[in-house]
Amino acid sequence: MTTHLVRVVVALLLLAGVASAQTAQEVAALRKQAQAGGAASQVSLGRMYLDGKGVPLDMSQGVMWLGKAADQGHPHAQYLLGVLYAEGSSVPKDERTALSWFSKAATQGYVSAQVFLGAIYAKGTNDVKRNPVTAYIWWSAAAVGATAANDAEMAVLVTKQRDTLATTMTAEQITKADKLAKQYQALFDSRKQK
Instruction: Specify whether the CB–CB gap between 9 and 112 falls below 8 A.
Output: yes
Q: Which are the contacts of 139, defined by CB distance < 8 A and separation ≥ 6?
A: 114, 115, 118, 122, 158, 159, 161, 162, 165
What span, in angstroms and rounded, lies between the C-alpha atoms of 55 and 21? 9
pLDDT for position 18: 40
Which pTM was predicted? 0.83
| Long-range pairs of 52-60 with CB within 8 A, sequence gap ≥ 24 | 53/20, 54/20, 54/21, 54/22, 54/26, 54/27, 55/27, 59/90, 60/90
What span, in angstroms and rounded, lies between the C-alpha atoms of 74 and 132? 28
pLDDT for position 24: 83
DSSP string covering 142-168: HHHHHHHTT-HHHHHHHHHHHHHHHTT
pLDDT for position 22: 58
Could you list the pLDDT tens digit for every one of the 194 residues in the chain?
455 554 445 444 434 444 444 588 888 999 999 999 999 999 999 999 999 988 999 999 999 999 999 999 999 999 999 999 999 988 999 999 999 999 999 999 999 999 999 999 999 988 889 999 999 999 999 999 999 889 999 999 999 999 999 999 999 999 999 999 888 888 877 766 66
Helix extents (H) in the chain: 2-16, 24-35, 39-51, 59-71, 75-87, 95-106, 111-123, 132-148, 152-166, 171-193
What span, in angstroms and rounded, lies between the C-alpha atoms of 56 and 65? 14
Sign of torsion over alpha carbons 89, 107, 157, 136: positive
Phi, psi (5° rounding) for residue 54? 85, -15
Domains recognised in the chain with CATH numbers: 2-193 (1.25.40.10)
